[in-house]
Chain A
Amino acid sequence: MSRAHRAGPGRVRWAGHWPRPWFVVREAARAARRHVGTAVAIVVTATLSLAMLGGALLVRAQIDSLKGAWYDTTQVAVYLTGDASAGQVAALGDALEADPLVEQVWFEDQQTAYANFTDQFADSPDLVAEVTPDQLPRSYRLSLVDPETGDQITARYADRAGVRQVVDEHAQLATLFDVLGGFATAALVLAVIQAAAAVVLIVNMVSSTVLLRARELRVGRVMGATRTQLAVPFLAEVACYGLAGAGGAVAILAVAKVELVDQRLAASGVLSGIVGYVGWDALWGTLPWLLVAGVGVPVAVTAGLLWRHLHR
């Protein structure tokens, strides 16, 4: 009888729990070919929603760099009275140099002030013609360790001998910074919503492929495939769609960067010299997030769905 037990076609030597990689690739390709409409729909959905997510992330990065650039260039100007003595000016300079709130101090004499003035109003030659260097005040220009501390500087130096006025450019720009900060937050919220929408859309599309492969799953279960063996080809398929979507999204963002930022915005010269535009590094920086939203989360969610579906 024991010999008869081994009768029949004989045993197959099964290779562990994991399906062979080449089998997984072939099955994923076969499924995509067989349900080409669904596959295209999934990839297009993933591409568009991931491009929106990436776009939101890039807008946020741009706003951050804009904000940073202005923060770095804003200064406090300490204007001197016309009759301030050389000793007063030097004492004030020493005091500012020694002040722990101050990062750096430049002295702007009347010639430099005039040069900056003519630059700034180059479009209004009439105005420039009426002003002479001796009409412009000398000033100390300060950059602060923390731009928010401008009011303390004002309090300390406004009443000193030889000081006419302390102007805190940062305080003047505070409203602008508030607005920019609001935009950055909005972009972040938008990115989070886009990420959630991308994940939901991709998972929805993928769960429709569960139905398309219900027969394969049934056959596999009856034949004694483990859950890993059943799930891996499936998850590989989902990962492929997500990868294709992330690739498409990066391509769309790259085209948008070249077309909109490099060729329009940068070429127009608006803001040039003040702000760094969104660069390739920022574009690559979005890729991990696109992969998380496009591949990581859908694969994890599909695995969870499948795991429950395949239980017993």
Chain B
Amino acid sequence: MSAKTVPLTRRPPVLLDGVCVTYPGSRSPALRDVTLHVAPGDLCSLVGSSGAGKTTLLRVLTGELRPSAGTAIVAGLDVGSLPARRLPRLRRRIGVASQDPNLLPGRDAVGNIVYALELLGAHPKVAHRRAVDTLDRLGVAHLAGRTPEQMSGGERARVAIARALATGPQVLIADEPTGALDPDTTRTVIDTLAAAADTGVAVIMATHDVVAVDRLGRRVVRLDGGRVSEDTTGGYAHAGFAPPPAAPTRRSLRGAR
């Protein structure tokens, strides 16, 4: 079934179908015929050597790049035909956490999240409540009053993830969120991403950290020369479509909050 024939109500938040990307001036495409569906609650790790196309794929998801062929539907918007002025709409529906957490100095974790929400027009009280809720939900409530200067690298990364989630996105895109972190800290950050997925967000994480991915035991998509060479659920070393984590888990988690 091609991306556009999937009924709207059943479209997963990330729906790539035969996506090709060729950079201007380059002869070999950076992405070749990539088909990838990521369902709500999925935590999908994107692995592959440098130049395999991980970053290109994420740039398609964030609307920075348009596919030269194929269909990319992210959070219900067709990235290929989305005009530049509609990009903010796409970005409000997705969350992005990059390797540089980009926290604003001089503001505590809550302040950082509140700033982003208020910039988008949220009422200050609503923004504050959501900031506290989001930190709490991801298990980092203890960082609420700390400024970036008072946090470790891992803590900053986790607050950045919380900020990306505070707008209530359908998709969370994490680009090397653990790039500069030690193994223990990496684990806490990846646990935070897993917690995000468990609230029903489709999480896509590009990473080099194969150890952490293995330990996670969830879906792994390997890119090789711009192609998907492997799409596995950890522990089930086979290619193919990985089922999203069982819905009851998410439901029970939501109930537990």
Could you list which residues of chain A lie within 8 angstroms of chain B, going by C-beta atoms?
Answer: 1-2, 4-5, 7-20, 22-23, 34, 215-216, 218-226, 229-230, 233, 311-312
Contacts and interface: CB of A to CB of B under 8 A. Distances in A.
A2 B165 contact: no
A7 B200 contact: yes
Contact of B167 (A12, A15, A218, A221): A12
Contacts of B116: 219-220, 223
B130 A223 contact: no
Interface stretch (B19-27, B119-127, B182-190, B228-236): B119-127
A8 B119 contact: no
B10 interface: yes
B239 interface: no
Interface of B: 9-10, 12-13, 39-41, 62, 64, 84, 87-94, 96, 98, 102, 104-106, 115-124, 126, 130, 133-134, 137, 163-170, 199-201, 247, 250, 254
Given A4-B41, A5-B170, A216-B104, A19 B121 contact: yes
A10 B137 CA distance: 13
Closest 5 CB pairs of A and B: A7-B200, A224-B91, A224-B92, A15-B121, A4-B40
B167 A7 contact: no
B13 A9 contact: no
Contacts, number: 124
A39 to B, nearest CB: 15
Contact of B119 (A1, A22, A225, A312): A225
Contacts of A226: 88
Contact of A223 (B92, B123, B137): B92
A57 B96 CA distance: 53
Nearest to A225: B119
B37 to A, nearest CB: 11
B84 A19 contact: no
A215 B120 contact: no
A199 B73 CA distance: 46
Contact of B88 (A2, A18, A224): A224
5 contacts: A4-B39, A8-B168, A8-B201, A12-B117, A224-B91
Nearest to A14: B121
Nearest to B10: A1
A7 B201 CA distance: 7
